[in-house]
Amino acid sequence: MIEHTAGATIVSIPVALFRVGFFVSPQVSIEPFVNFNSTHGNGTFTTGRVGAGLLWHFTAATSGVQPYIRPFIEDDFAYVSGRQNTAGSAVFGIGLGLKIPLADRLRWRIEGAYASATGESRIMGLVGLSFFTH
């Protein structure tokens, strides 16, 4: 999404976090992810995250509710124009969630997660959709 208002331009991926999963077995998938936001006005402020998770599904059956656990690692970054430093931090975390059938090849995804970086911890609630190509 690109938005221009009153001297500022905001560029962002239209979702909070974009993930793509690759199944390596019926119960395990690798999931890289990215987030990007940039605001331009009297200066530039850019934030983002890149990382990957490993989903282990407790069952390979996809016809019902499918619980999973997801350890992940990410790099959060922020850049402010006019400053010589870019803030970044490695984040490690773990999530526990459910994939709930909604329609053919489409599932709700509900997850609770804990993440920790140097000097900072966070507890997150995540809700989203998973679409499967086959």
Residue 56 belongs to a domain: yes
Residue 109 belongs to a domain: yes
Q: Are 10 and 39 in contact (CB under 8 A)?
A: yes
What CATH number has the domain bearing residue 96? 2.40.160.20
Cα–Cα distance for residue pair 13/48, rounded to 1 Å? 10
pLDDT at 7: 59
- What are the CA-CA distances from residue 38 to residues 26, 71, 83 (Å)? 37, 28, 16
Question: What is the pTM for the complete model shown?
Answer: 0.76
DSSP secondary structure letters along 73-91: EEEEEEEETT-S-EEEEEE
- What are the CA-CA distances from residue 99 to residues 45, 88, 95 (Å)? 35, 31, 13
Q: Are 50 and 15 in contact (CB under 8 A)?
A: no
Domain of residue 63, residue span: 21-30+47-131
Residue 15 belongs to a domain: no
Residue 85 belongs to a domain: yes
Domains in the chain, number: 1
Residue 3 belongs to a domain: no
Residue 25 belongs to a domain: yes
Residue 39 belongs to a domain: no
pLDDT in tens, the chain (134 residues): 455 555 555 555 556 677 888 889 999 999 998 888 777 777 777 888 899 999 999 998 888 999 999 999 999 888 887 665 566 788 999 999 999 998 888 889 999 999 998 778 889 888 888 877 76
Residue 14 belongs to a domain: no
